[in-house]
Structure 1
Amino acid sequence: MELRDLHSLIGIAETGSLSGAARKLNLTQPALSASLKRLEQELNVLLVRRHSRGAALTEEGKYVLQKSYHIVRDVAEVVSVVDGLAEEPIGLVRLGLPTTIAGGLIPEFFPMLRSRYPQIRLNIIEAMSGRLAELLQLGDIDLALLFDIQPMSGLRSEPILKEKLCLLVPSDHPMANKPGVRLDEITQLNLVLPSSANSIRKHINAACEAEGLSLNVVADIDSFPGLVSLVKGGHCTILPTYLAMQQAHQGKIVALDIMRPNLEWTIHLASRHDATRPRASLVTGQLLTQACKTLVQDGIWPGEIINRA
């Protein structure tokens, strides 16, 4: 099946006649007729019926027409992306980072990007993971690190690393000296957590539902600094290990492993299929992945690297 034959069918559908399609595609009418005949013979079906006022697609022709639009669009996208990949990485890349990651990752990642690709200008948006997924789907950002995402139209994703969630308590809390804590023990605490729209909360809720447990949440706080401040003031929360462990090292709060079950999730790099600067977005994503893995290898980010075959 040749692309030019699909263009011939599209031309006939859009003009309503073979002569009109021939003019539109800058072909002779015999050449267009031959193209249509070739396509019909290959598919072994009648696609177009001619009549006194021109030509109309059969039901089979209408089906092939819709598929033809998709194929032509996909081929055009491939050409556009390949052309973009051949260019020097340059321009604006809008990157979304979750609040539980941004503060620790930016100092590692940004110097790498500036050193390797000085013509890329970075715009970093920090938000909770759920909000970043929305911005990515709307086209307001080009790339984002997201947690345990579901397949979304127009987006691609790849897993980078696995990370545990832990319980944060004040340093003077009765549980502070425990080596770890069970999920059923956490149900006895007054918790402040990200709101139910956030991926952290969804993950925690799913784990509790699987165990037949429910948490006592006294406030929904979609702010990492806000959650940490409340823990220092006497409350408890559940957060990923990365920045939580950094806060624990300052001595005012304690990070406890959650056991039975372990709460673990996967961090993905998500990007748009239709990135306007494919080369810049591609290399930015590659360096971002490298920065994450370097932090894990250096023992700064408690996690497990996912190496794809």
Structure 2
Amino acid sequence: MSMVDFRDIHLLGDFIVVCRTRSISAAARELNTVQSAVTQRIHRLEQACDTQLLTRHSRGVSPTGQGKVLLQFSEKIESLLYEANQEMHDWLSSPSGKVTIGMPPSITPVLATPLIENFTSELPNIDLSVTEAMSGYLEGWLENGDTDFSIVFQRPRKAGIHATPLLDEDLFLIVTPDLAAGLPSTVSIQDIAQLPLVAPSRMHSTRHMLESAASEAGLELHVLSIDAGNLLIRQSIIRKMGMVLSRAAAAPELEAGSLVAIPITKPKFTRTAYLLERREASGSHLINVARLQILSTVSMLVKQRIWKGRPRSALSDPIG
């Protein structure tokens, strides 16, 4: 039994046009081809169906009984193809799927809310999940596939992870206004060593930076280690302890005036924020669109000086 298969699907489009115009010559003009080419395609379709599909007469052509059956299904196929193309176009402009972003507690106060708001308004079909952990854990989660992106403050150790530098940010001594009143307008590692401090564990890059500077100066720091969320660390500062943080990490308290940021000049502490992703996922359209949205959001925050730092090249044209 002869039958039409997907190899003949392009012939159905010509058949629909011929049936609609009821003329081979008119169909040829609409299809921007010659009449003989349309006649040949209809003949091939009739051979595939093993039946006559058109009746020729003086006024042109009209579908036979079986031709009408094929026309009905051809129009359904045409409609399904249109819907498929439309849905693919819609997905490209606003893809759907789940995206998980991990970030450390020192970034969450300044980035989490704008990122969620921008994804909701610009990419409503993406199910965004934001998770929080120290940088050391985030790289492992990314490598294991638990997150799609991670924002960290140290270069990745694994070859399968790609790092995009976002910005360089200075670190400050964050204290209460009462404690700041007894300190100079800029502080050194010697000044910091005189204060009780709260900091993450020695695995943390900022803790390592501090202790290295203190060791080089022959000083010993008085540090309470807290491996917990940044909110708990900021609450400890309010209890008359100091912390070396970026402005972004304590943004709510700095804006409210409950904490003060004092510049550190001797030595100056700076760290780089990196956007990490798995190299194997870089070809995904969903991941590419999500990356652009992350870069666009960070760029906006830096330009508006909500996230204070010196932008790297990735933020100069995040949409391009």
What is the TM-score of this pair, normalised by structure 1?
Answer: 0.66
The one-letter amino acid paired with 2:299 is K
For residues 218 and 297 of structure 2, the distance between their equivalents in structure 1, rounded to whole angstroms, comes to: 38
Asked if structure 2 preserves the Cα contact closer than 8 Å seen for 1:192 and 1:221, the reply is no
Q: How many Å separate the matches in 2 of 1:112 and 1:197?
A: 33
Pairing of 1:210-225 with structure 2 (within 5 A): 210-225=216-231
Q: Which residue of 1 aligns with 2:186?
A: 180
One-letter identity of the residue aligned with 1:164: D
Displacement of 1:252: 2.0
Aligned residue for 1:18? none
Pick the aligned partner of 1:118 from 110, 115, 124.
124
How far apart, in 1, do the equivalents of 2:208 and 2:286 lie? Answer: 33
| Cα root mean square deviation, aligned | 2.4
- The answer (yes or no) to whether the contact 1:176–1:256 under 8 Å persists in 2 is no
Change (3 A) 1:289 1:258: same
Aligned residue for 2:281, secondary structure, equals coil
Name the structure 1 match of 2:70.
none
2-side partners of 1:219 and 1:207: how far apart? 18
Which of structures 1 and 2 has the bigger CA Rg? Answer: 2
Q: Does 1:133 align with 2:123?
A: no
Please report how far the alpha carbon of residue 112 of structure 1 lies from its aligned counterpart in structure 2 after TM superposition.
Answer: 1.8
1:161, distance to aligned residue in structure 2 (A):
0.5
Q: Does the CA-based 8 Å contact 1:131-1:198 persist in structure 2?
A: no
Corresponding residue of 1:96 = 102
TM-score, length-scaled by structure 2:
0.64
Select which of 260, 264, 267 maps to 1:258: 264
Q: Between 164-173 and 108-117, report the one with greater CA deviation.
A: 108-117
Aligned partner of 1:165 among 154, 158, 171: 171
Structure-2 separation of matches of 1:104 and 1:169: 19
Question: Could you tell me which amino acid in structure 1 is paired with residue 101 of structure 2?
Answer: L
Q: Which residue of 2 aligns with 1:201?
A: 207
Q: Distance in 1 between matches of 2:293 and 2:214?
A: 36
Per the alignment, do residues 168 and 143 of structure 1 end up closer, same or farther by CA in structure 2, a change over 3 Å counting? same
Structure-2 residue corresponding to 1:230: 236
Distance 1:212 1:287, change over 3 A: farther
SS of residue paired to 1:99: coil
Report the 3-state secondary structure (helix = DSSP H, G, I; strand = E; otherwise coil) of the residue aligned with 2:142.
Answer: helix
Partner Cα separation in structure 2 for residue 177 and residue 186 of structure 1: 10
- The aligned runs of 1:1-309 (5 Å cut-off) are 88=92, 89-173=95-179, 178-275=184-281, 278-308=284-314
How many Å apart are 1:172 and its aligned residue?
A: 1.0
Q: Quick check: 1:187–1:214 contact (8 Å CA) kept in 2?
A: yes
* Structure 1 gap ranges (5+): 1-83
Determine if contact 1:187/1:215 at 8 Å carries over to the other structure: yes
Is this contact kept in 1: 2:138–2:150, CA < 8 A? yes
Q: 1:220 to 1:238 in 2, by over 3 A?
A: same
2:42 maps to what in 1? none
Quick one: distance in 1 between partners of 2:266 and 2:107? 25
Per the TM alignment, residue 156 of structure 1 is displaced from its structure 2 partner at its CA by: 0.3
> Residues 194 and 223 of structure 1 are in contact (CA less than 8 Å); yes or no, is this contact kept in structure 2?
no
How far off is 1:128 after superposition?
A: 1.5
Q: Structure 1 residues 158, 211: CA separation in 2 closer, same or farther (over 3 Å shift)?
A: farther
Deviation at 1:224, TM superposition (A): 0.6
Q: Which amino acid aligns with 2:107?
A: I
Shift of 1:103: 2.5
For residue 255 of structure 1, what is the amino acid of its counterpart?
A: A
Give me the whole-angstrom Cα distance separating, in 1, the residues matched to 2:264 and 2:290: 34
CA-CA distance at 1:237 after TM superposition? 1.2
Instruction: Label 1:306 to 1:211 Cα distance change in 2 as closer, same or farther (>3 A).
Output: farther
Q: For residues 120 and 201 of structure 1, do their structure 2 counterparts lie closer, same or farther at Cα, with a shift above 3 Å needed?
A: same
Q: CA deviation at 1:269?
A: 0.5
Q: Which amino acid aligns with 1:169?
A: V
Q: Specify every segment of 5 or more residues in structure 2 that has no aligned partner in the other structure, as ranges.
A: 1-87
**Secondary structure at 1:197 match in 2:** coil
Amino acid at match of 2:167: L
SS in 2 for 1:100: coil
- Deviation string, structure 1 residues 119-151 (Cα, Å, up to 9, x no partner): 211111111212111211222111011113244
Counterparts of 1:134 and 1:263, CA distance in 2: 26
Contact 2:175–2:237 (Cα < 8 Å) also in 1: yes
Cα deviation per residue 1:197-251 (whole Å; 9 max; x = unaligned)? Answer: 2233233334434545432213334321111111111111111221324412322
Q: Partners of 2:108 and 2:201 in 1: how far apart?
A: 19
